[in-house]
Amino acid sequence: MNLTFSNLFFVEKSKFPQEKQHIQEEHHRKIGWVFYCTLVLGLWLIASPPSFGYQEPLMIWSDIITGFLMVVLSYLALNPYRLWAQWSIVLLGVWLLIAPMIFWAKQEAGFHNDYLVGTLAVVFAIIIPGQPGIKLFEKPGPDIPPGWTYNPSSWNQRLPVIFLSWVGFFVARYMGAYQMGYIDTIWDPFFGDGTRQVLTSKVSKSFPVSDAMLGAFSYVMDILFGCAGAINRWRTMPWVVIIFAILIIPLGVVSITLVILQPVSVGYWCTLCLTSAMISMLMIPFTIDEAVATIQMMRAEKKAHGTSYWTTFWFGGTMQGGKETRVHLPSTLLELTGNEMLNDIKLRPWNLIFTLVIGAWVMSAYSTLGYRDTISYSENITGALIITFSVIAMSEVGRPARYLLILFGLWLIAAPWILGTDKNAAMWNGVIAGAVLIPLSFPKGKVEDKRGSFDKYIV
């Protein structure tokens, strides 16, 4: 069957083999209870405005209309071939996550109610039952990609990201609660009034919504995308893997850089913002390899069957070879998460640990050495980028990113003459830091795992 994008939402039962129909209907019978749960969530939403004392008319109508639609769509989704109804419930859940930000909900109870119901709606609509119609589209294939020594979609890889996303969510939600007016004070253990100054700055107020709550929403999406799919999702749900990688890698790098630029743009440091940036950085190394496996699979589908990348992106594919995963879980998920993160730390190349230290020093040198001019802004940005790409390069898949540190080292050496400075401390700091950084960028470090055709790029 030639699949098109519309088949993701609308399918004709008769066009699928009897075996596929049976598998889809059997799967739907097993997970059908989730749509009764979303139906109850819809009824809860309809009753929420009077129960929680909503005051904003837009929030009142948003919850009532969303609740009504959720009830109707949950009933329609009981049919195993109405995929569009199941997708619509997912979209309603996402809407509930952003509606309180858009409408600047004044009642904290209403905000948390929408967040809880929205998250549960997504969990019941796609996390637990899987992608709508996946049993119709899924192809047989391995869990571990051909040429790989491990499964990039295993829970060992995903749980650390989910755990860190939860921590990041609580940090961002706390800052967002201050911006939304739910709390009157904000705590900063190191920079005094710094967090308050950042959260109330012109930069933050230039956003149409609370930028901290936008960060909380981003972390919730990281959690949901991290939970979606089975351990073979690198080939069965490419769209989840690619969007998950986009949320964490490029958007993470941008958010990290923006946070680190606070002394330049706002004039203050924010402990909680730096904590959020650190969490975003730590998630990146766990995410790159799964995206690489998915891209390899999409290229293999294109080469073997001529399937377009767009079709494979939504419906998945398969690869010849590979093997099944044998999962041996520790006694607790917390133990699994801790073990995976600890093992990854042990494998980090020694030279990248030193480049992290250099990046941190370059960022803070101007305050320690007592100069503040254009060169200090340059060092602040460069130091942030050194830290970010050092963390990316700590992943075996991201190891080639360490060569970007050479460019940052050259810039540190040249910046005092290009930007100009009359401070000897600034000049020598840049020259020495750059001269030390460049040779530390060359050692590759130990690479333990294999990743098929991608191994030739890990240089």
Q: Which of 90, 97, 98 is nearest to 8 (CA)?
A: 90
Ordered structural domains, the chain, with CATH: 1-137 (no CATH), 139-346 (1.20.1440.130), 347-457 (no CATH)
The tens place of each residue's pLDDT in the chain, 459 residues long, gives 677 888 888 888 888 889 989 999 999 999 999 999 999 999 999 999 999 888 889 999 999 999 999 999 999 999 999 999 999 999 999 999 999 999 998 888 899 999 999 999 999 999 999 999 989 988 888 889 999 988 999 888 898 899 999 999 999 999 999 999 999 999 988 888 888 998 988 888 888 999 899 999 999 999 999 999 999 999 999 999 999 999 898 877 777 777 767 777 777 788 898 888 889 888 888 899 999 999 999 999 999 888 899 999 999 998 887 666 655 554 555 555 556 556 655 567 889 999 999 998 988 887 777 777 778 888 888 888 898 899 889 888 889 999 999 999 999 999 888 887 777 888 888 899 999 999 999 998 888 888 888 888 888
Q: Rounded to an integer, what is the distance from CA 156 to the centroid of its chain?
A: 16
What are residue 16's phi and psi, to 5 degrees?
A: -110, 145
Q: Are 219 and 280 in contact (CB under 8 A)?
A: no
The dihedral built from the CA positions of residue 318, 251, 341 and 349, taken in this order, carries a sign that is: positive
Alpha-carbon gap, residue 97 to 215, rounded angstroms? 12
Q: Which of 76, 309, 271, 296 is nearest to 187 (CA)?
A: 271
The dihedral built from the CA positions of residue 261, 264, 269 and 270, taken in this order, carries a sign that is: negative
pLDDT, residue 345, reads 57
